[in-house]
A and B are shown apart, each in its own frame.
Chain A
């Protein structure tokens, strides 16, 4: 029977269909998390880094030898903080983006070394001027960052490289394995004489074939366009990058080990990568987060990778300095891969 819908029946049908969509939406826990939970978590995490009330606005580093003079002319206020440290540590901290600039002593007066082309540098200058005005009639001298101090590009690109390796491995290995399982190809391959290690190896090799090229392109872009510096050994830098790949490959295998549904696959990959992208100090220093979070953030594989790459490229660190972080990356990789393979679902 061909029955024409009256406006009332049509409205009812549309409402029922709308209700069906809403039911499907609210009955999917993954969607609920990404729609409601994740934006709140993201806002909370960024708020911790940038919006905590009564937080010092900018940090300036002072080398221990200059400390007395600088503090006399530039008092520690609610809006500007002075962190005293050894000269070499101060330069390293500056390169890691832990402060807006440095304050030194010259001829008995404080001198600021700031990059005034950046928003943070300008803010630091204004706040420092205001703090200094109450102490001295002379203007505060401001100079360009010292030659050794890194630019934002020097900070950003090692982090971007670590991020690229993470995304490349977690998506390229983790998601690829999940996809093979969802398409039942893992089960088909596992039923052939090919060993299971060989099947996993083929996925890793496929990713390993393109990952170096992708990252070399990114780094080359940074060097050519933004003049990103390499102060350390290129071989060590590549070794650290390879260690990062091991860590994230392990994470990818663990993430892929049990997933049986496509929605869950996307959810797991996002849950692994997005929080680290925010907190691991890729775009800004993770020391901006409250101190109680530092042990957790500092132990994350993306933090270890970004910090180790930055240490080599910006600070010229050697094997001894980066060894703990490289060991951490291998521990992540082997630990995750071990657990992942133990519980891996082949069907």
Chain B
């Protein structure tokens, strides 16, 4: 049996007195697409940072394709692609230069940069400075940088926040294309429709723990909610009351 693409085993992370992630177990199969939902402060970012290898857990293990971040980090890096919501790509580099730079990190050349330009529909903007791109174009470029090395696993932090509906649909198309080619996706999002359209499974987090997980219909049934929005609002509302 293949090892899960991403796996967190009893993971704990504390920042001083605050326990950001309190014993999370999460397993994402290869080729699966999972959305991580939860109100602000639920521990999503910390969990994602641990899965990306940026933060080491205080307890537990993080595995990528069965490899442990603690001991096999160099073998893991090329397998992951990361796309951050508000990362500011080098503003005075041109689109093509930026892509060639990120391709070089994976030992890839200009051909791959050309492929990516076509994939994210930025070929006509290749000479534009990154700082001059619109929000949607910038996010598509960030996505192209994340997949420069053709990673099997893609971690996306709010990939469509701050972009207009047309750009959001373009990004969804790109992500759907990557899914169809077998990529594993883990995305955090506040857009419930994004989770419904792109993901096989939704994981609900609150106060550093996984509250529930399953397909959208399973979650709605168990939560007695009419929509994911409704479920999310109940979750957030309970937090406010507490």
Task: Tell me if chain B binds chain A.
Answer: yes
Give A contacts to B, CB under 8 Å: 183-185, 187-195, 346-347
Interface majority SS on A: helix, strand, loop or mixed? loop
Using A191-B54, A192-B149, A347-B49 as known contacts, say yes or no to A184 and B77 having CB atoms under 8 A apart.
Answer: no
Chain B residues near A185: list those with CB within 8 A.
87-90
Q: Is B78 an interface residue (CB 8 A)?
A: yes
Chain A residues near B88: list those with CB within 8 A.
183-185
- Are A188 and B145 in touch, CB under 8 angstroms? yes
- Are B87 and A184 in touch, CB under 8 angstroms? yes
- Are B55 and A191 in touch, CB under 8 angstroms? no
- Are A188 and B54 in touch, CB under 8 angstroms? no
- Are A184 and B86 in touch, CB under 8 angstroms? yes
CB distance from A198 to the nearest CB of B (A): 9
Which of A187, A191, A194 gathers the greatest number of chain B CB atoms within 10 Å? A191
- Are A191 and B90 in touch, CB under 8 angstroms? no
Assembled-state Cα–Cα distance A183/B53 (Å): 19
- Given A183, A193, A195, A346, which contacts B87 in the complex, CB threshold below 8 Å? A183
Assembled-state Cα–Cα distance A346/B78 (Å): 18
Using A183-B87, A185-B88 as known contacts, say yes or no to A195 and B74 having CB atoms under 8 A apart.
Answer: yes
CB distance from B65 to the nearest CB of A (A): 14
- Are A187 and B78 in touch, CB under 8 angstroms? no
Q: Is B110 an interface residue (CB 8 A)?
A: no
Q: Is B80 an interface residue (CB 8 A)?
A: yes
Q: Is B191 an interface residue (CB 8 A)?
A: no
- Given B77, B86, B107, which contacts A191 in the complex, CB threshold below 8 Å? B77
Chain B residues near A194: list those with CB within 8 A.
77, 105
Assembled-state Cα–Cα distance A191/B142 (Å): 13
Interface majority SS on B: helix, strand, loop or mixed? loop
Q: Is B82 an interface residue (CB 8 A)?
A: yes
Assembled-state Cα–Cα distance A190/B54 (Å): 8
Kindly list 13 other residue pairs between chains A and B, CB separation below 8 angstroms, not including A188-B145, A191-B82. Answer: A183-B87, A184-B84, A185-B87, A185-B90, A187-B82, A188-B82, A190-B54, A191-B77, A192-B105, A192-B106, A193-B78, A194-B105, A347-B55
CB distance from B196 to the nearest CB of A (A): 27
Q: Is B150 an interface residue (CB 8 A)?
A: no
- Are A193 and B54 in touch, CB under 8 angstroms? no
Assembled-state Cα–Cα distance A190/B90 (Å): 15
Chain B residues near A189: list those with CB within 8 A.
105
What per-residue 1/0 map shows which CB atoms of B99-116 lie under 8 Å from chain A? 000100111000000000
Chain B residues near A184: list those with CB within 8 A.
84, 86-88
CB distance from B187 to the nearest CB of A (A): 15
What per-residue 1/0 map shows which CB atoms of B72-84 lie under 8 Å from chain A? 0010011011101
Chain B residues near A195: list those with CB within 8 A.
74
- Are A193 and B149 in touch, CB under 8 angstroms? yes
- Are A346 and B149 in touch, CB under 8 angstroms? no
Assembled-state Cα–Cα distance A236/B52 (Å): 46
Assembled-state Cα–Cα distance A194/B77 (Å): 8
Q: Which residue of A lies closest to B145 (CB)?
A: A188
CB distance from A128 to the nearest CB of B (A): 59
Can you list 19 pairs linking A and B with CB atoms under 8 Å apart? A183-B87, A183-B88, A184-B86, A184-B87, A184-B88, A187-B52, A187-B82, A190-B53, A191-B52, A191-B54, A191-B82, A192-B105, A192-B106, A193-B77, A193-B78, A193-B107, A194-B105, A195-B74, A346-B54
- Are B86 and A192 in touch, CB under 8 angstroms? no
Assembled-state Cα–Cα distance A191/B54 (Å): 8
What per-residue 1/0 map shows which CB atoms of B39-66 lie under 8 Å from chain A? 0000000000100111100000000000
Assembled-state Cα–Cα distance A27/B86 (Å): 27
Closest 5 CB pairs of A and B: A184-B87, A192-B105, A183-B88, A191-B82, A193-B77
Assembled-state Cα–Cα distance A191/B79 (Å): 10
Chain B residues near A192: list those with CB within 8 A.
77, 102, 105-106, 149
- Are B105 and A187 in touch, CB under 8 angstroms? no
Chain B residues near A190: list those with CB within 8 A.
53-54
Q: Which residue of A lies closest to B80 (CB)?
A: A191
Chain A residues near B53: list those with CB within 8 A.
190-191
Assembled-state Cα–Cα distance A168/B62 (Å): 40
CB distance from B16 to the nearest CB of A (A): 15
- Are B105 and A193 in touch, CB under 8 angstroms? yes
